[in-house]
């Protein structure tokens, strides 16, 4: 039997879990099958890799040697695969667009504009709550572009090495049931919601800290924030159980309203990202233009926010220098 990368993954899994049974569960294999595979690996390498007793599996000297090599080879092979996937495809035309979005309001509009501009292109989308997950997928060559939101002036992690452009800067609004006493107000003072129960969609970044800081400036500490998906947020607001923080571009359903927070203490920047060394970088300016146009289309369908933007010109669509 020739030793393969999958065999090294088995050895690493057993060492990291300290148990053949736990490693089998992690790898999605039956325990007897993994035991038989380990025995074949040991025969190939000429000796036992683990000492096994009631306390688990501990590497032998030979096992430590194999582990040391595996922990170099496996990441190196993963890096090679990621580089190959990211750099695959050459030429002057994008034949596919793989777009990821983290609770982004314009993915649909961007896809529509890309499809209209290039009908023959293959377009796929991927949704996540987490900007870091999407950035890792771009880094690994599995996505071409990502749309993510960040709080205030913060930026995605520089560790990913992606290029970013700002599509828009928006205020954060509150979503209320129409029966709420503040639902008819032109804007809502955050302090007037000091006793409210809150709900928001999940995500990474510093938004929770920024919200807590805004509440502190208004003189109160917010009650615990429920975290659920968009449908769950709507249901909780609709039932009167909570009020929601929401993107200003959100178009409320019947029975709900969105209102600006006085002074716009919370801002949300929508960013477009891509890998600077990938083919996608050649076409990033075009995709950015489509993204901004999709944002403007969306705002055009939201007269409440349209009026608010006309009174608050720093907000809205942006095309600025790299961040």
| Per-residue pLDDT at 320 exceeds 70 | no
Q: What is the mean pLDDT of residues 132-158?
A: 88
| pLDDT of res. 275 | 93
Q: Which domain holds residue 27?
A: 5-88
| pLDDT of res. 84 | 65
| Per-residue pLDDT at 321 exceeds 80 | no
CB 273 within 8 A of CB 135: yes
| pLDDT of res. 156 | 78
| Per-residue pLDDT at 230 exceeds 90 | no
CA dihedral 28, 32, 38, 42 (to 10 degrees): -170
Alpha helices in the chain (DSSP H): 5-17, 20-27, 31-45, 61-87, 107-117, 131-139, 207-217, 230-238, 284-300, 303-311
CA distance 284 to 292: 12
Query: What are the tens digits of pLDDT across the range 22-54?
Result: 999 888 888 898 999 999 999 999 999 999 888
Buried b (16+ CB within 10 A) or exposed e, 101-140: bbbbbbbebbbebbeeebeeeebebbebeebbebbbbbbb
pLDDT band, very low/low/confident/very high, at 55 (cuts 50, 70, 90): confident
Nearest Cα to Cα of residue 134 among 151, 112, 149: 149
Phi, psi values for residue 198, rounded to 5°: -110, 155
| pLDDT of res. 160 | 72
Nearest Cα to Cα of residue 171 among 226, 250, 252: 250
Residues 288 and 226 reside in one and the same domain: yes
Residues 168 and 80 reside in one and the same domain: no
| pLDDT of res. 255 | 92
Residues 84 and 100 reside in one and the same domain: no
Residues 25 and 44 reside in one and the same domain: yes
CA distance 149 to 109: 16
Does residue 82 or residue 278 have the better pLDDT? 278
Alpha helices in 19-177 (DSSP H): 20-27, 31-45, 61-87, 107-117, 131-139
Residues 107 and 218 reside in one and the same domain: yes
Phi, psi values for residue 196, rounded to 5°: -75, 150
In whole angstroms, what separates CA 322 from the centre of its chain?
20
Q: Is the pTM of this model over 0.85?
A: no
CA distance 131 to 146: 8
Q: Using only C-alpha atoms, what is the Rg of the chain?
A: 25
CA distance 95 to 109: 19
Domain count of the fold of the chain: 2
In whole angstroms, what separates CA 227 from the centre of its chain?
16
Which domain-ending residue is among 71, 88, 105? Answer: 88
Query: What are the tens digits of pLDDT across the range 160-195?
Result: 789 999 999 999 999 999 999 999 999 999 999 999
| pLDDT of res. 152 | 84
Which domain-ending residue is among 60, 88, 116? Answer: 88
Residues 144 and 287 reside in one and the same domain: yes
């Amino acid at each position: 039997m020739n030793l393969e990368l999958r065999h090294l993954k088995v050895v690493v899994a057993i060492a990291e879990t300290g148990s053949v049974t736990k490693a089998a569960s992690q790898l999605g294999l039956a325990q007897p099958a993994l035991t038989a595979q380990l025995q074949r690996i040991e025969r190939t390498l000429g000796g036992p890799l683990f000492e096994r007793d009631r306390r688990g599996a501990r590497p032998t000297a030979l096992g430590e040697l194999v582990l040391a090599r595996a922990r170099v080879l496996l990441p190196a092979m993963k890096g090679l695969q990621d580089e190959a996937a990211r750099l695959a495809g050459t030429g002057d035309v994008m034949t596919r667009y793989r777009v990821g979005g983290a609770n982004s309001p314009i993915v649909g509009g961007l896809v529509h504009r890309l499809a209209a501009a290039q009908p023959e292109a293959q377009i796929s989308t991927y949704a996540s709550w987490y900007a870091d997950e999407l950035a890792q997928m771009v880094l690994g060559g599995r996505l071409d572009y990502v749309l993510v939101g960040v709080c205030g002036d913060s930026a995605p992690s520089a560790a990913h090495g992606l290029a970013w452009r700002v599509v828009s800067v928006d205020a954060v609004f509150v979503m209320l049931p129409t029966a709420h006493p503040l639902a008819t107000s032109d804007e809502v003072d955050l302090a007037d919601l000091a006793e409210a129960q809150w709900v928001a969609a999940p995500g990474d970044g510093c938004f929770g800290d920024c919200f807590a800081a805004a509440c502190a400036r208004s003189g109160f500490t917010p009650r615990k924030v429920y975290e659920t998906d968009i449908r769950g947020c709507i249901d909780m607001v609709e039932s009167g159980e909570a009020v929601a923080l929401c993107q200003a571009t959100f178009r409320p359903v019947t029975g709900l309203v969105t209102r600006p927070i006085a002074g716009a203490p919370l801002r949300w920047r929508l960013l477009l990202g891509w890998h600077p060394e990938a083919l996608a970088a050649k076409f990033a300016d075009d995709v950015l233009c489509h993204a901004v146009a999709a944002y403007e289309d969306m705002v055009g369908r939201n007269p409440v926010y349209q009026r608010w933007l006309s009174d608050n010109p720093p907000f809205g669509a942006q095309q600025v220098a790299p961040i």
